[in-house]
Amino acid sequence: MLLIALGLLLVSAGIEDARTRNIANWKNAVIALLAPAWWWANGLGLWPDVALQLGVAMFVLVVFVGAYAIGQMGGGDVKLVAALALWLPVQPLVGMLVWMSLLGGALTLVMVAERWTQLRGGIAALPWRTIAPIALGLIALLALGWAGWPHFLTLVAGRPVIAALGVMTLLMAIGGLLIFAMRAARRGGVIPETPYGVAIAIATLLVLREPIFNQFT
């Protein structure tokens, strides 16, 4: 029942973000407040399991507040990611962040292209020299991730610190590409608003297909 409730909240948050570019605070609050019930249902102890969840969630919040500070994510998106970090152990959380980054990058490019064509006069006016290399970079990262995903999950389980550094490098690479695209778009008078809540919801639902607490059993 808890997973069903989480899934419904994620779908609702994604739809709301797509329509209004906003995620209601009460949805993020409910997701966060349901996390202790999820811990109890899965038999997590206060130490080290719950302490680890809280520590990871705090770290994720600090990192994504930085993304909010430079204007790359909305406040509701940051709260949603932090609330989900209370649910997901390290391995599924890493998977969710990777999928979120790739999906968010693709959405950003789509939004840039859509706004540019509206304001600049059709597909022929798109800044292909900016968009094409970034799109190819995202496709390459997606292909690399798809091919090496089983090996990556093994690395997360065996060497979480190295895996975390790898994920941070990946996120920085994608973030750098998207910042480049956004700056180029803004120079052309295009300011797209990417609904990252959609990417977060889809990414989380993808990782929820698996028994996410296997590592605690």
- Residues 20-63 pLDDT 10s: 889 999 999 999 999 999 999 888 888 888 998 999 899 889 98
What pLDDT was estimated at residue 6? Answer: 92
The pLDDT assigned to 97 comes to 84
The dihedral region occupied by 192, where left means phi > 0, alpha psi between -120 and 50, and beta the remainder, is beta
Residue 154's pLDDT is 64
3-state DSSP helix/strand/coil percent for the chain, to nearest 5? Answer: 80, 0, 20
At residue 127, the pLDDT reads 66
pLDDT value of residue 66: 84
Q: Which of 21, 188, 19 is nearest to 113 (CA)?
A: 188
In this prediction, the residues of the chain whose per-residue pLDDT falls under 50 are 211-217
Predicted confidence at residue 27, as pLDDT, reads 96
Q: Which helix (H) or strand (E) holds 195?
A: none
d(CA 52, CA 206): 23
Single-letter amino acid, residue 46: L
User: Domain limits at 208?
Assistant: 2-216
Query: What pLDDT does 159 receive?
Result: 66
* Of 62, 65, 10, nearest in space to 34 by CA: 10
How far apart are the C-alpha atoms of 104 and 17, rounded to whole Å? Answer: 13
Q: Is the peptide bond before 195 cis (omega within 30 degrees of 0)?
A: no
Domain count, the chain: 1
pLDDT on residue 216: 44
